[in-house]
Amino acid sequence: MSHMTERMKELFDKVPTVVLSTVSEDGIPNAVPVGAKKIIDDETILMSNQFFNKTLNNMRANPRVAVTFWEGHEGYQLKGSVTIETTGQRFEDTARWIDEKSRKSGVPRKSKGAVILRIEAIYGLAPGPGAGKKLA
């Protein structure tokens, strides 16, 4: 497992969306923005599935994903495998969280699942000599 630093976690929380990249059984890549994301701990993040379509099919066929986020020239790429929880405490907490967001924004949406990423590697994205370097 790889651990996010305090700075990585701060940036993850701060950015409005992260990019979730998956790949289909046939090797076709897919990348989508995800706004409903949370840190569980240094090596685990959660994303809520409201609208995942190709993304969901891809993760079912191949749980290995990349999550990319950045601000200015600072950015990180988290890689690992996901599990999709559609029952249990984390799913119920996520469903409540999305219900609340939905009520506040007036945009109807429902969580269909909590996508849990266990981080196995972290890469830096900042342009320059260290670009793409494995950080953890």
Ligand X SMILES: Cc1cc2nc3c(=O)[nH]c(=O)nc-3n(C[C@H](O)[C@H](O)[C@H](O)COP(=O)(O)O)c2cc1C
- Kindly list the residues in this chain that would bind ligand X in the complex (CB under 6 A): 17, 30, 32-36, 48-55
Candidates 21, 8, 1; CA nearest to 124 is 8
Contact 113, 93 (CB under 8 A): no
Q: How far is the CB of 134 from ligand X (least distance, A)?
A: 27
3-state percent breakdown (helix, strand, coil) of the chain, nearest 5 = 25, 40, 35
Cβ proximity to ligand X: between 2 and 81 the closer is: 81
Q: Closer to ligand X at the Cβ: 2 or 44?
A: 44
Q: Which is nearer to ligand X, 56 or 125 (CB)?
A: 56
Q: How far is the CB of 85 from ligand X (least distance, A)?
A: 14
Q: How far is the CB of 38 from ligand X (least distance, A)?
A: 10
Q: Reading across the β-sheet that carries 37-41, which strands appear in turn?
A: 29-34, 18-23, 64-71, 74-85, 113-124, 44-49, 37-41
CB of 133 to ligand X, least distance (A): 28
Residue type, 33: P
Can you tell me the distance from the alpha carbon of 15 to that of 12, in angstroms, rounded to the nearest whole number? Answer: 6
Q: Which is nearer to ligand X, 18 or 119 (CB)?
A: 18
